[in-house]
Amino acid sequence: MIFKGKTILVIGGTGSLGKVFVKRVLSGKLGTPKKIIVMSRDEAKQHQMRMSYLHKLVATDEVIYNNFKNALEFRIGDVRNYADVCSAVKNVDIVVQAAALKQVPTCEYFPTQAVLTNCMGASNIVRAIEENSYPVDTVIGVSTDKACKPVNVMGMTKAIQERIIIAANILNPETRFICVRYGNVLASRGSVIPLFHEQIKNGGPVTVTVPEMTRFLLSLNQAVETLFAALRFAKRGETYVPKVPAATVINVAKALIGKRKIEIKITGIRPAEKMHEIMVSEEEATHCVRRGNYYAILPMLPELRKLSKHEPAALKKELSSEDTALDFSGTVALLKKHKIMIEDIDLSHGEELLR
C-alpha cells in the first residue's frame, strides 16, 4: 500500500500521464493517500480536471474556494521557477516529475525552452530538497526512449534530466531519486494515432514518414503501471523500463485505415527523427537487470552501484524497437486490446494490403 497516508505531488499533472496517474491513485487500490497535489501552468486544464472529479459532489464555487481543503489540490506553478517548486515540494512524501516539453519539432526550434523545463525543472526539484532539507521520501522522473542515444533536443534534455535525478542520490541520502523510461504512449496528446484518426475521419490521406520506421508502443495504463512498479521496488538511482512491443508506422496506419479507401502518403523522415528507437543502449545493457515485467538500469555512478547486489545482466545488446516489432496481425491485436481502433477490421484484408 505505497500511497497510504502519503502526500503526492504530480508536477505536470494535467497532462495525459498525470491525469491517469491521479485517477489510479485516487482509486485507493494501492492505499488511500492523504493528499494529491496537481501542479501545472495551465489554469484551464486544471479547472477541467477539477470539475471532472468534484462537480458532482459539491457546488462549483465550493470546489474552487475550498481547493486547499480537498484531498485533490490544484496549484498553479512552474517547475522552472524555484520558488514555486519549493512551495509545492516542502510538505510532500512523493514527487512525480511529469512536466516536460515533449514535442520533438518544438524542442528543435526552441531548445532553450526545452532546457528550462526538462533540465532546469529537474534541477529545481533537487535543489529545493537539498537546500531546504525537505523530508521527501521519493522523487521519480518520467523519461523517454528518445533520451537513449539521443539525436534530438527533446531526447538530449531528457537524458540530462535522467542524470540530474539519478546523481541527486549522492548528496541527498534521505531521499530516493529514481526514473522511468518508456516509448510512445498510445493515443496520448500530440502522438501519431490521434493524427491518423483525424486524417482518416477527414478522408485522408494518412501521412506516414517512412514505412519501415518502428516505435515502442504502450498504453497510458502501462505507463502508469511502470511508475507504480518503480515506486514499489526501485532502489536509489535505478531507472525502470517496461518490456513492451513495437510496431512499424505503416502497420499502425494500415490497421487503423482497415477497409476504408484512404490513400497513404509517404512524406519522408523528419528532421531529428530516428528510424528505430532504443530503450536500453548497448552501454547500459551491461548493467541492466530483470525485475519481473521490467528492466532496471542500474546507476552508472560507483557510489550508487554499491547499493545494488550483484545481478546478472539481462541484455547482451541494445534494446531496439527494430528487434521487437510486431507483424501486421500483432499490431492489429495490440491496437484492439487497448481500444485504439476506430472500428474492428478484417485481418485478412489487412494482410492483402501488405502484399
pLDDT tens-place values along the chain, 355 residues long:
899 999 999 999 999 999 999 999 999 999 999 999 999 999 999 999 988 876 555 444 444 555 555 789 999 999 999 999 999 999 999 999 999 999 999 999 999 999 999 999 999 999 999 999 999 999 999 999 999 999 999 999 999 999 999 999 999 999 999 999 999 998 776 678 888 999 999 999 999 999 999 999 999 999 999 999 999 999 999 999 999 999 999 999 999 999 899 999 999 999 999 999 999 999 999 999 999 999 999 999 999 987 566 788 899 999 999 999 999 999 999 999 988 875 543 334 333 333 2
- Domain membership of residue 129 (yes or no) is yes
- Domain membership of residue 333 (yes or no) is no
Per the structure, the complete domain to which residue 97 belongs is given by 1-182
pTM confidence score? 0.90
| Closest alpha carbon to 338 in 204, 184, 213 | 184
Report the sign of the C-alpha dihedral through residues 144, 111, 124, 168, in that order. Answer: positive
Using the structure block, give the residue that is written with the C-alpha cell 496549484.
75
Strand order in the sheet with 176-182: 72-76, 35-40, 7-11, 94-97, 138-144, 176-182, 239-242, 294-297, 288-291
- Give residue 193's pLDDT: 87
Annotated active-site positions, please? Answer: 146
- Give residue 346's pLDDT: 38
- Domain membership of residue 90 (yes or no) is yes
Cell digits of residue 81 = 521557477
- Domain membership of residue 222 (yes or no) is no
Omega prior to 312 cis, within 30 of 0: no
Residue 40: CATH number of its domain? 3.40.50.720
The answer to whether the beta carbons of residues 97 and 179 sit under 8 Å apart is no
Cell digits of residue 122 = 529537474
- Domain membership of residue 136 (yes or no) is yes
- Give residue 341's pLDDT: 74
- Give residue 339's pLDDT: 84
The DSSP result for 110-163, as a single string, is: -HHHHIIIIIIHHHHHHHHHHHHT----EEEEEEEGGGSS--SHHHHHHHHHHH
CA dist 125 and 152 (Å) reads 24
The answer to whether the beta carbons of residues 266 and 211 sit under 8 Å apart is yes
Exposure class string for 136-148: b at 16+ Cβ within 10 A, else e: bebbbbbbbbbbb
- Domain membership of residue 202 (yes or no) is no
State phi, psi for 164 to the nearest 5 degrees: -60, -45
- Domain membership of residue 65 (yes or no) is yes
Count of domains forming the chain? 1
- Give residue 51's pLDDT: 87
- Give residue 345's pLDDT: 35
- Give residue 67's pLDDT: 59
- Give residue 353's pLDDT: 33
- Domain membership of residue 81 (yes or no) is yes
Instruction: Give the side-chain half-sphere CA count within 13 A for 40.
Output: 25
